[in-house]
Structure 1
Amino acid sequence: MEFAELIRTPRVDNVVLHRPFYPAVEGTLCLTGHHLILSSRQDNTEELWLLHSNIDAIDKRFVGPLGTIIIKCKDFRIIQLDIPGMEECLNIASSIEALSTLDSITLMYPFFYRPMFEVIEDGWHSFLPEQEFEFYSSAVNYFVTLRYFFSFELFCVFQTSEWRLSYVNKEFAVCSSYPPIVIVPKSIDDEALRKVATFRHGGRFPVLSYYHKKNGMVIMRSGQPLTGTNGRRCKEDEKLINATLRAGKRGYIIDTRSLTVAQQARAKGGGFEQEAHYPQWRRIHKSIERYHILQESLIKLVEACNDQTHNMDRWLSKLEASNWLTHIKEILTTACLAAQCIDREGASILIHGTEGTDSTLQVTSLAQIILEPRSRTIRGFEALIEREWLQAGHPFQQRCAQSAYCNSRQKWESPVFLLFLDCVWQILRQFPCSFEFNENFLIMLFEHAYASQFGTFLGNNESERWVHCSHGAISFLVVLVTS
């Protein structure tokens, strides 16, 4: 398919651009295969370059011969274009609608983008599981040296005798949403991992998410166990989870669903860990919403922000009614609980919800930000996003397909990643000196997750990105690691 087939009118002169907090600008509007461009000859006026993939919805209005297109973007911007001529306005609107809803991933802009800067590091290979394993392992010699010189142990070093790199998922043979290489207990062989994968939702068997150097406790994550109504069990799964415990220690299983939801999942083949089969583990249920509930919450929040007719009391009432801050509170409370289990109680934890690709990742990521200073640096936060979101299988293409303005909504669309970034912002506001970055960094990540010239957030998992993106698109992380 040629993009020219979708562009009915490629150029219109004397178009007036209106944006909040900016003066109106008159210029020439051009449509390309991936951008809407408005260029003006006025001095000190920047060109508008808007990716079609950033367009969430458009509205058309007509007053006599003048047509108006209101563009609502996924990053919440609202842009108004006054176009002379009804036919030109209809053609532009039709072209934008077609270009902003392309289905094929290979037609996206990242496959056509050519950077104007020198790429000195491959972002696709900047944060690999081998490097994380090496990071933990390299701490051994360093901390052992400290212990030798200072005669006391400052940290509990990563025990390479207890963990290993597993290549069981090579070519994504076991789980399409996991990376080819994962870190698992050394006492569990690959054949056992394959059996555990059949017992966990989506093949997402428990893997190492975080190792706490202070006391050697770990965070594991997985999908829900497929116990069903018959109480199915898997001894390999029980052995794998118990292998993460030290002698005489107990662990916690944090289920990000309410007990009622977890029990209802059994009727669909899912379920939760039975205490009789996991006696060394205590199960805790923390209800974190997802899917359409979060999407509706975001829509109400954006509506409240855009409504400038009410007073402060009315605004606060609408903010509360959106439940956005309630969701943030639930997630942060669960993350703090996980951090306390690790640091205060000296207990390892396993975190999962249903699939293990949404609320699970929110909690594991935030717990690491609380516990690990490295995660609060720019490089460490990039590694966290790569490890706990991209490699961990968060379906970005489904969750970020639309934002708050689109009228046609799918059940899998949900601002899970945006909610996580907002949670990080809440922590950042309380402890600004503990972070190497500011809110602009978080905003940039949000914008690129929904529309970008880079391929980092395309696809729904590592297997899709491996097929489509890593050989034909540039990773967003290459910009961050080289800047």
Structure 2
Amino acid sequence: MEFAEHIKTANVEDVVLKQPFHAPMKVTLCVTGHHLLFSDRSGDSSWQLILLLRNIDAIEKRPAGSSGTITIKCKDLCILQVDIPGMEECLNVASSIEALSSLESVREMYPFFYRPSWLSLDDPWGLCTPEKHYDQLGALQAKWRLSKVNSDYSVCPSYPPAVIVPKSVDEQVLVKAARFRQGGRFPVLSYYHQKNGTVIVRSSQPLTGANRKRCKEDELLLQAVIDGSDRGYIIDTRSTQQAHQARMTGGGFESKSCYNSWKRIHRNMERGKVLQESLIKLVEACGDQSHNMDRWLSKLENSKWLSHVHTALSTAGLVAECVERDGHSVLVHGSEGTDSTLLVCTLAQFILDPDTRTLRGFLSLLEREWVQAGHPFQLRCARSAFSHARLRQEAPLFLLLLDCVWQLSRQFPLALEIGEPLLLRLAQEAYASDFGTFLCNNEQERCALELKDRTHCLFQFLLRSSEREQYINPLYESTDLAIWPSVQPQSLHLWAGLFLRWTDHTQNMEEVRDEIWSIVTERCCRS
């Protein structure tokens, strides 16, 4: 379908735009297939605001005599107000925005049309393939191998073509084990601990069902993971009750009798609709203009967002403790293995591995554990906190990860090379982007769309010398130590840089960061 079919009124003059940090201004509004363009060409001014339509979460129309007002609520939590002269023009623009901001075909999205002069489609895509990652883990290769069993995505649609598995397990065992796991997500390597050789592996739930079915190949695979060790830990991100209920619908958990070398621990982590509604309540609280302290604190507590942050960090800390302090390997899974499983595995690595706290290392970690590992970005990030649409499969798991990383940056201000601006940029890009990195739900879909040949890579772009400086923590000092998060209530804070981003307070904090950066840079030049 041509974009022009959705555009009922392409240009409107004398529009009044109201946005954070700016006085109301009269501009010209232009509607294109992927953007709203606000431009002020009066006098010597050449000011322009370009808003990606995919960034629009919801709009509200309000008549005002012969004209109308459109309130635009964006996925990055910014709210714009547009006063349009003429009711017909107002309704036409609103209709166009609603249609163009909710296109479901991935091929019609802007990354497939984004062609800046400073980027080439021949530029490298991504930072670390499974093959390259395996080559970097020299000590691992004695007991683990790179498997191409999923090279055509037939074994597991949401896994990459290559995965790292125990060397003693052949391909036929992997195929049968995959049939026993939801979505075919059999246990694969997530992290190898260089100090003691223990590992973190991840998967989806076993399909034991009400009849408590067994799979000898799955049992063999998990036994090979611990390789003769007396014990491994299974961290199930569901409550015991949820795991038992899953049996009624064909799912389940690993029984003690069949996996006697593994100890199962349940850590209930919310996902799906519960997590999405928590985000909605938090954003509503942050937008409350009543300035009543009791009301604000009550709304913040009722959102339960910081409780989700607490659970994610404490569960990841448990996994890291099993690996680093107890010297035991860990399997992490929930139901599908594409959401809370990835969250916990990523945070555990961030706690343990200093390399993941560098800019390149962190982006590589996200690529391995979220993009390649099959987090369904297209489904989870379809809507943000303002949409009036009925919730389907939206859930802010990636946003929760970034919040947890921000909490760690507060507790360990010198240990992370990455700064808050990077986390804010990633939060925005996951929901609406010029780049193709977060498009689709898995590698199979990206391959079918030839995404790596037809769009640009965000991670490569962020590492460019022209970009990276703004995302670096000026106070960073490299350390080989693990960073153990505090999850005491007084240690966790609201991420004001994101949730209060469009207030004067946050603008002042950005000015402070710029000043710190200039001071550190000046001192480095002197030394």
Same fold, TM exceeding 0.5? Answer: yes
| 1:471 is the counterpart of 2:472 | no
Q: Distance in 1 between matches of 2:391 and 2:299?
A: 24
Partner of 2:17: 17
Give yes or no for contact 2:126–2:460 (8 Å, CA) kept in 1: no
Cα shift at 1:256: 0.1
Partner of 1:300: 281
Cα shift at 1:314: 1.9
Cα deviation digits, residues 68-120 of structure 1 (max 9, x gap): 10000111110001111111111100111110111211000011110231449
Cα deviation digits, residues 164-196 of structure 1 (max 9, x gap): 100000121111100000000000111110000
Partner of 1:151: none
Matches within 5 A, 1:263-412: 263-412=244-393
- Give the residue type in structure 2 aligned to 1:14: D
Cα shift at 1:308: 1.4
Give yes or no for contact 1:402–1:409 (8 Å, CA) kept in 2: no
Q: Cα 1:319–1:353, aligned 2, differ >3 Å: closer, same or farther?
A: same
Q: Distance in 1 between matches of 2:229 and 2:52?
A: 56
Runs of 4+ aligned structure 1 residues displaced above 2 Å come to 41-46, 118-126, 246-249
Give yes or no for contact 2:126–2:367 (8 Å, CA) kept in 1: no
Q: Distance in 2 between matches of 1:159 and 1:369?
A: 19
The unaligned stretches of length 5 or more in structure 1 are 138-157
Cα shift at 1:312: 2.1
2:417 to 436, 447, 458: 436
Partner of 1:146: none
Give yes or no for contact 1:197–1:205 (8 Å, CA) kept in 2: yes
Give yes or no for contact 1:123–1:477 (8 Å, CA) kept in 2: no
Q: Distance in 1 between matches of 2:120 and 2:81?
A: 36
Matches within 5 A, 1:12-161: 12-41=12-41, 46-119=47-120, 122-137=123-138, 158-161=139-142
Cα shift at 1:225: 0.3
Partner of 1:414: 395
TM-score normalised by L of structure 1: 0.94
SS at match of 1:445: helix
Q: Distance in 2 between matches of 1:378 and 1:290?
A: 28
Partner of 1:480: 462
Partner of 2:156: 175
- Give the residue type in structure 1 aligned to 2:409: L
Q: Distance in 2 between matches of 1:34 and 1:120?
A: 20
Paired positions, count: 463
Give yes or no for contact 1:56–1:403 (8 Å, CA) kept in 2: yes
The unaligned stretches of length 5 or more in structure 2 are 466-527
Give yes or no for contact 1:204–1:222 (8 Å, CA) kept in 2: yes
2:197 to 206, 211, 216: 216
Cα deviation digits, residues 35-66 of structure 1 (max 9, x gap): 00000125667411111111111001111122
Give yes or no for contact 2:140–2:192 (8 Å, CA) kept in 1: no
- Give the residue type in structure 1 aligned to 2:16: V
Q: Distance in 2 between matches of 1:87 and 1:434?
A: 56
Q: Distance in 2 between matches of 1:69 and 1:182?
A: 49
Cα shift at 1:310: 3.2
- Give the residue type in structure 2 aligned to 1:473: T
Partner of 2:4: 4
Cα shift at 1:411: 2.8
Give yes or no for contact 2:381–2:394 (8 Å, CA) kept in 1: yes
Q: Distance in 2 between matches of 1:95 and 1:419?
A: 32
Q: Distance in 2 between matches of 1:12 and 1:436?
A: 45
Cα deviation digits, residues 197-240 of structure 1 (max 9, x gap): 00001000000000000111100000000001111111111111
Matches within 5 A, 1:163-202: 163-202=144-183
Between the two proteins, what is the percent identity of the paired residues?
59
Cα shift at 1:125: 4.1
TM-score normalised by L of structure 2: 0.86
- Give the residue type in structure 1 aligned to 2:65: G
Give yes or no for contact 1:121–1:482 (8 Å, CA) kept in 2: no
Q: Distance in 2 between matches of 1:168 and 1:481?
A: 32
Give yes or no for contact 1:196–1:234 (8 Å, CA) kept in 2: yes
SS at match of 1:433: coil
Q: Distance in 2 between matches of 1:211 and 1:415?
A: 27
Q: Cα 1:121–1:439, aligned 2, differ >3 Å: closer, same or farther?
A: farther
Q: Distance in 2 between matches of 1:48 and 1:22?
A: 12
Partner of 2:515: none
Matches within 5 A, 1:446-457: 446-457=427-438
Greater displacement, 356-365 / 40-49: 40-49
Give yes or no for contact 2:150–2:156 (8 Å, CA) kept in 1: yes
Cα shift at 1:127: 1.4
Cα shift at 1:21: 2.2
- Give the residue type in structure 2 aligned to 1:70: T
- Give the residue type in structure 1 aligned to 2:114: Y
Q: Cα 1:260–1:10, aligned 2, differ >3 Å: closer, same or farther?
A: same
